[in-house]
Amino acid sequence: MSNIAVVLREEITRLSRKEIRSQTKALRNASAEYRKKIAEMKRQVSELQRKVTSLEKQVHRNIPSQVGEPDTKSFRFSARGLRSNRKRLGLSASDYGKLIGVTGQTVYKWEQEASRPREQQMAALAALRRMGKKEARERLEELSKEGQ
């Protein structure tokens, strides 16, 4: 009798393992597919991060490259001059700030002589001094397109 019980138990175990394998096969395949997609997305994210980093470096390089070193040293800051230049270009403080890389509130503080621009911002201010209305508007459009 024990022989039949052992054989029966082994057969039941074998059949149950077979059934479990067939039931989990779909899950294993789906899991493998998800892992592939996750790996692909990770590669895309790292590639996009590399591109963003290089673009950020280009943006930071473009602002100082518009103005040479001698210009920033000879450039004097004047709140009245800043205000008149902004009015000449026909820009709001917010738009003017976007061209420099600061907020509109910062521009207002400079105009009110509550604070002074840093050296890097002085370079951008010097570049804006030489810009015309049309060129300033084009640069604003470029910045808004890059932000989207």
* Other beta carbons within 10 Å of 103: 13
Looking up tokens 């000449």 gives: 88
Residue ranges of domains in the chain, CATH in brackets: 69-147 (1.10.260.40)
Q: Are 104 and 96 in contact (CB under 8 A)?
A: yes
* 6 or 64, higher pLDDT: 6
Residue type at position 95: D
The pTM score is 0.49
- Count Cβ atoms within 10 A of the Cβ of residue 136 and give its class: 0-12 exposed, 13-18 middle, 19 or more buried: buried
According to DSSP, residue 114 is labeled S
* Other beta carbons within 10 Å of 61: 9
The span from the CA of 66 to the CA of 73, in Å, is: 14
Question: What's the whole-number average pLDDT of the chain?
Answer: 86
Confidence band for 67, pLDDT divided at 50, 70 and 90:
very low
| Per-residue pLDDT at 117 exceeds 50 | yes
Residue 97: strand, helix, or coil: helix
pLDDT of residue 1: 58
pLDDT of residue 68: 44
pLDDT of residue 105: 92
